[in-house]
């Protein structure tokens, strides 16, 4: 088998309308990987480009077997492009980078070294120490990173840097849909993988335009709720739904006790009070939430997802860092 058929490292770059940037991406990637004594491939995912990006990708793939491309029928978004690429890569290690050349391919060898050093990480996320973006993108990003770290418990300066290196198994374990590509480090951390951050060189965009606007932060906020559900309550949904139910039940009970006292010890009528309706609705909501939590626990137990846990096995037959599914 050739090295191109079984590379050790896979580089994955989603691209949309990056016709002008792709030739330089291929050239810089080839130059950066000269420093590595590893076989490698570069897989570019054309996420529904409307320019000649696919032509550039196919020409490069024909000239060098280490370059590959796949094309999505339309624009599905970065998370879907990454998921499609992860399903196709063949390397043990995986590096993701953006095709707009703001991620410097020269940083790839240093990120890979973090995965195989004396204290190896499972995922190394780049940190744009001197970000070359306008203030209108930097300030929302700082707020996003602060909130994400506060909620997920993983404190990173830059959760959403496109330049990351990881063991390929990490990307095959974390969910990739919607806008969840922004939370890959947090999701990997929740699964027990060792996550680290390293400062990387960031460059201004030379060609094309950004495919992201401020609306992505609104979508990201909604997906943050998904991340919270996955990271904190993915294996104990009754705590999430039951907690909401108990809170509603407590408030509803206090309201009804107050109204009962009014009815018993005063001459005031409570039958037409909106507060009575609110108390009853809260009690009904509580029953629904607690029931939903119990049903979710039964489904989780039935499907066996609570057994989908990685453990480290160390004995005479296995290496200390061998990972098996238990």
Q: Where does a domain end: 233, 248, 263?
A: 233
Tell me the chain's radius of gyration from C-alpha atoms: 25
Q: Is residue 80 part of a domain?
A: yes
Same domain, 144 and 276: no
Same domain, 197 and 95: yes
- pLDDT at residue 140 is higher than 80: no
Same domain, 58 and 96: yes
Q: Is residue 324 part of a domain?
A: no
Q: In this predicted structure, which of 69-78, 82-91, 220-229 has the lowest mean pLDDT?
A: 220-229
Determine the average pLDDT of the residues in 178-192: 86
Determine the average pLDDT of the residues in 219-233: 71
By percentage, how much of the chain surpasses pLDDT 90?
47
What is the structure's pLDDT at 64? 92
pLDDT tens sequence across 101-113? 888 899 999 999 9
Q: Is residue 325 part of a domain?
A: no
Query: Would you place residue 159 in the very low, low, confident or very high pLDDT band (cuts 50, 70, 90)?
Result: confident
CA–CA separation, 68 and 50 (whole Å):
19
Q: Where does a domain end: 188, 205, 233?
A: 233
Q: Are 259 and 283 in contact (CB under 8 A)?
A: no
Tell me which residue of 233, 199, 16, 66 sits closest to 125, measured CA to CA: 199
Q: Is residue 326 part of a domain?
A: no
Same domain, 76 and 102: yes
CATH number at residue 66: 3.90.550.10
CA–CA separation, 248 and 243 (whole Å):
9
Please count the structural domains in the chain.
2
Higher-pLDDT residue of 261, 178: 261
Same domain, 204 and 279: no
Same domain, 181 and 43: yes
pLDDT tens sequence across 1-43? 455 668 999 999 999 999 999 999 999 999 999 877 889 999 9
Q: Is residue 176 part of a domain?
A: yes
Query: Would you place residue 287 in the very low, low, confident or very high pLDDT band (cuts 50, 70, 90)?
Result: very high
Tell me which residue of 99, 76, 133, 105 sits closest to 17, measured CA to CA: 99
Same domain, 221 and 89: yes
Higher-pLDDT residue of 279, 151: 279
Same domain, 229 and 303: no
Determine the average pLDDT of the residues in 172-186: 86
Same domain, 280 and 140: no
- pLDDT at residue 161 is higher than 80: yes
Q: Where does a domain end: 216, 233, 250?
A: 233
Strands 195-200 and 123-128: parallel
What is the structure's pLDDT at 306? 46
Same domain, 196 and 300: no
The residues, any chain, with a CB within 8 Å of residue 213's CB and separated by 6 or more, are none
First to last CA, the chain: 32
By percentage, how much of the chain surpasses pLDDT 70?
83
Query: Would you place residue 314 in the very low, low, confident or very high pLDDT band (cuts 50, 70, 90)?
Result: very low
Give the range of the structural domain holding residue 255, as residue numbers without chain letter: 237-310
Write down the mean pLDDT value for the chain.
Answer: 83
Same domain, 220 and 265: no
Query: Would you place residue 217 in the very low, low, confident or very high pLDDT band (cuts 50, 70, 90)?
Result: low
Same domain, 210 and 286: no
């Amino acid at each position: 088998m050739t090295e191109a058929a079984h590379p050790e490292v896979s580089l994955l770059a989603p691209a949309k309308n990056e016709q002008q940037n792709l030739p330089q991406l291929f050239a810089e990637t080839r130059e950066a990987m000269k420093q590595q004594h590893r076989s490698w491939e570069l897989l570019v995912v054309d996420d529904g480009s409307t320019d000649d990006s696919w032509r550039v990708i196919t020409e490069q793939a024909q000239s060098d077997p280490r370059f590959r491309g796949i094309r999505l029928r339309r624009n599905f978004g970065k998370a879907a492009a990454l998921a499609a690429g992860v399903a196709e890569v063949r390397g043990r290690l995986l590096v993701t980078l953006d095709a707009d050349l703001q991620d410097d391919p020269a940083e790839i060898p240093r990120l890979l070294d973090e995965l195989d050093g004396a204290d190896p990480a499972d995922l190394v996320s780049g940190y744009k120490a001197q970000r070359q973006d306008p203030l209108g993108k930097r300030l929302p990003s700082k707020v996003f990173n602060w909130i994400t770290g506060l909620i997920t418990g993983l404190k990173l300066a830059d959760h959403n840097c496109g330049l990351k290196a990881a063991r390929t198994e990490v990307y095959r374990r974390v969910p990739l849909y919607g806008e969840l590509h922004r939370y890959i480090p947090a999701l990997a951390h929740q699964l027990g993988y060792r996550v680290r951050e390293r400062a990387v060189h960031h460059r201004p965009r030379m060609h094309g335009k950004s495919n992201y606007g401020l609306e992505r932060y609104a979508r990201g906020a909604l997906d943050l709720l998904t991340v919270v559900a996955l990271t904190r309550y993915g294996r104990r949904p009754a705590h999430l739904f039951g907690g909401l139910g108990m809170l509603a039940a407590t408030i509803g009970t206090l309201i009804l006790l107050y109204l009962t006292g009014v009815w018993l010890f005063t001459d005031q009528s409570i039958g037409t009070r909106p507060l009575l309706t609110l108390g009853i609705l809260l009690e009904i909501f509580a029953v629904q939430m607690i029931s939903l939590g119990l049903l979710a626990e039964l489904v989780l137990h039935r499907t066996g997802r609570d057994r989908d846990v990685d453990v480290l096995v160390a004995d005479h037959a296995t290496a200390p860092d061998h990972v098996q599914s238990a």
